[in-house]
Amino acid sequence: MAGSISSALLLLLNMAGALLAPSASAPQSLPASADDDGDVDFFFFPFLVRYKSGRVERFVGTDTVPASLEPATGVASKDAVIDAAAGLAVRLYLPSLGNSTRTRSGRGDRLPLVVFYHGGGFVTESAFSPTYQRYLNALASKAGALVVSVDYHLSPEHPLPAAYDDAWAALRWVLGSARSGAEPWLSRRADLTRLLLVGDSAGGNIAHNMAMRAGREGLDGGAAIKGIALLDPYFWGKRPVPSETRDPEDRRLNDRIWSFVCAGRYGADDPVVNPVAMAREEWRRLGCARVLVTVAGLDVLSARGRAYVEELRASGWGGEVRLYETPGENHVYFLLQPDGEKAAKEMDAVVAFINGDRSPGGSKPEGSAKSI
């Protein structure tokens, strides 16, 4: 049975599984409400349907939870509005100083600053979802980092490059607020010399593109991105890469999905989605010193993550790139099974990367980190 299901469809189901609340279920067919709007324009199974009337109905990734103080970790979170008119906001996470890296780093109360971009195929989820509240509470606590999670606009109502523009505006706001004192957590606690961008799936794509833009344009005040962590990043392209298996159905489906999220503004081999196609001189503009890429062995996108690491290494870019592989798991499994042993090992790798350790951990067979 499994052999009859395309790898692209399995990817979508795994992505949806990571976003579904325990009581929710993805639709197996179009909802009855489809008749309310007449013909369906695009059914992005299992995430959403867009009707020809323009109405969009989402099935997963719409739940939200309020900012709070989590008793188990001592991490506090709060929301901040960047631009009320544009609808751009963030959620900040501040760990208990008892769990922070200040005693190890000798930097007082200053913490590593992580700007996080959530996944969801560019079409679902938010900075306020229970999935990412849980993950980022854990990340902030374990890494002793101040985390800023960006609530960017979603496609198809706001097709790409809207998410990229929002991500860049949020990054500039973070840096400006840290310097001006407009946001006390940032101005009092953030160490701008330890600025990292982290994202999963579509968020990993965004983090990469922000580092590329920073390399081309620079950041306000001469700030520099210390590193980027791309967790099961969403990259695509028409031409297969080494170890990538793909049938024509997969190619057509993924091409249609990419065209849908960007409204046809970027081709399937545009560098924003297919950095492997970049010339080597473009790779050398990547605006950070360190890169961590994680991949899951059963993820159809894993070959793209490996190819990213290989191309970056071959480009002559002067930084350090690492690949962390978890065999036997699917796309963003660490969101679906956060308490599992493999997820814990991957979390340790990300935490160590944030804190600048030479060896990010996870070297046992269940997951392996490779410095390349």
Catalogue the active-site residues. Answer: 201, 299, 331
Q: What angle do CA 128, 131, 137 make, to 5 degrees?
A: 80
301 in Cβ contact with 234 (< 8 Å)? yes
Residues with Cβ within 8 Å of residue 227, at least 6 apart in sequence? 196, 197, 288, 289, 290, 291, 292, 353, 354
182 in Cβ contact with 191 (< 8 Å)? no
User: What is the token pair recorded at 327?
Assistant: 């065999």
* Strand locations in the chain (E): 40-44, 48-51, 56-58, 76-83, 88-94, 111-117, 146-151, 190-200, 225-231, 288-296, 320-326, 368-371
310 in Cβ contact with 243 (< 8 Å)? no
Distances (CA, A) of 20 to 119, 180, 260, 273, 335: 13, 39, 22, 25, 10
By DSSP bridging, strand 146-151 and strand 88-94 are: antiparallel
Burial class (CB in 10 A: 0-12, 13-18, 19+), 123: buried
User: What is the token pair recorded at 186?
Assistant: 């940032």
Q: What is the DSSP letter of 88?
A: E
Q: Which of 289, 288, 306, 307 is nearest to 297 (CA)?
A: 306
95 in Cβ contact with 141 (< 8 Å)? yes
